[in-house]
Amino acid sequence: MTSLENIKWQTEALEPVEALAFLGNQFPGEIVFSTSFGWEDQVITHMIFTNNLPIKIFTLETGRLFPETYYVWNRTMEMYGKPIHAYYPNNELLEQMVNAKGPSSFYESVENRKECCGIRKVEPLRRALAGNKCWITGIRAEQSADRQFMDNIEWDEQNNLIKFHPIYSWTLEQVKAYIRENNIPYNTLHDRGFPSIGCAPCTRAVQPGEDFRAGRWWWEDQSKKECGLHVHNE
C-alpha cells in the first residue's frame, strides 16, 4: 500500500477536523494551508486555529485584492490572534511585466492573463509550498465541472506533495451554515453575488443561473477559467 493510499484509508472515515489533526501529526512542520479568505477557506482556518492544529496558514498577496478581502484578512487575525503568512510576487518579474505591457495586460489575451497569474500567484505559491509534504485547500466538488472528478486526497505532481481538500464533499449551504453557527468572519462580497473571489480586476459578480466561476476572468472562454494553482491530474 502506497503512502497516499494509506493516508486515504486512514482518513476516509474521519471528520474534517480529525483528518486535519491526523495529517498535522503525520507531517510535522511540513503541512500548509492556503487561504484566499473565501467562504471555504474561512471554515478551514477556523478549524485549524480553534483546535490549535500544527498547520501553517498562508495567503498569496497579489497586490490586486479587493478591499473587502483585506478587511477579512485583518478581522481573521484579530479574532484568532494567530499569524497568516503572506507571499508576495517577485518584484523584479512584476516590474518587468508592467513596464513592458502596462498594469492591465491580462485583458488583452489568455497568454497575458496566464503570465500575470504566473507572476502574481503561481510563482509565490511554489515558494510557499517548497519543502512541504502536504497542502490543504478549500476546494469543493460543487465549485466547477472539473473539480467534480477529483478525490479529496490526491497527489500533486507539479508540486510533489499530497493535496487534501477537507470539505470537498460539503455543499455551499453546509459551508454557510458552519460560518453562521461559529460566527466566522467572511467576505461580504459573497452577499453581493461573488461566489468565487480573486483579484479585483479579474472578478465580477455572478448572475442568477450562471456557473460558480463565471465571474472569474469573465471575458474568457469557460474552459480556460483556471489560473494554474490547482492542476488536476487525470
For residue 11, pLDDT over 60 is answered with yes
Which band of pLDDT confidence, cut at 50, 70 and 90, is reported for residue 233? Answer: very low
The C-alpha atoms of residue 102 and residue 108 are separated, in whole angstroms, by 11
User: Which CATH code is given to the segment(s) 3-193?
Assistant: 3.40.50.620
Which band of pLDDT confidence, cut at 50, 70 and 90, is reported for residue 16? Answer: very high
The C-alpha atoms of residue 78 and residue 74 are separated, in whole angstroms, by 6
List, in sequence order, the alpha helices (H) in 81-206. Answer: 91-101, 110-117, 123-129, 172-181
The C-alpha atoms of residue 190 and residue 209 are separated, in whole angstroms, by 16
pLDDT in tens, 143-179: 755 555 577 899 999 999 999 999 999 999 999 999 9
Residue recorded with cell 481573521: 76
The C-alpha atoms of residue 94 and residue 117 are separated, in whole angstroms, by 11
What mean pLDDT do residues 115-136 have? Answer: 97
3-state secondary structure (DSSP) of residue 20? helix
pLDDT in tens, 57-82: 999 999 999 999 999 999 999 999 99
* Dihedral, CA of residue 144, residue 149, residue 155 and residue 158, to nearest 10: -50
Report pLDDT for 7: 92
Report pLDDT for 196: 87
List, in sequence order, the alpha helices (H) in 83-230. Answer: 91-101, 110-117, 123-129, 172-181
**CA dihedral (213, 216, 217, 218) positive or negative:** positive
The C-alpha atoms of residue 9 and residue 192 are separated, in whole angstroms, by 40
> What percentage of residues in the chain have a pLDDT greater than 70?
90
Contact (Cβ atoms closer than 8 angstroms) between residue 56 and residue 32: yes
Q: How buried is 219 (Cβ within 10 angstroms: 0-12 exposed, 13-18 middle, 19+ buried)?
A: exposed
166: cell is: 477537507
Mean pLDDT score of the chain: 91
Question: Is 199 tagged catalytic?
Answer: no
What mean pLDDT do residues 38-62 have? Answer: 98
Which band of pLDDT confidence, cut at 50, 70 and 90, is reported for residue 3? Answer: confident
Which band of pLDDT confidence, cut at 50, 70 and 90, is reported for residue 230? Answer: very low
Annotated active-site residue in 116, 117, 134, 227: 227
Residues in the chain: 234
Name 168's Cβ contacts closer than 8 Å, sequence gap at least 6. Answer: 139, 140, 141, 150, 151, 152
Which band of pLDDT confidence, cut at 50, 70 and 90, is reported for residue 226? Answer: low
Report pLDDT for 144: 58
Chain Cα centroid distance, residue 48: 15
The C-alpha atoms of residue 16 and residue 35 are separated, in whole angstroms, by 16
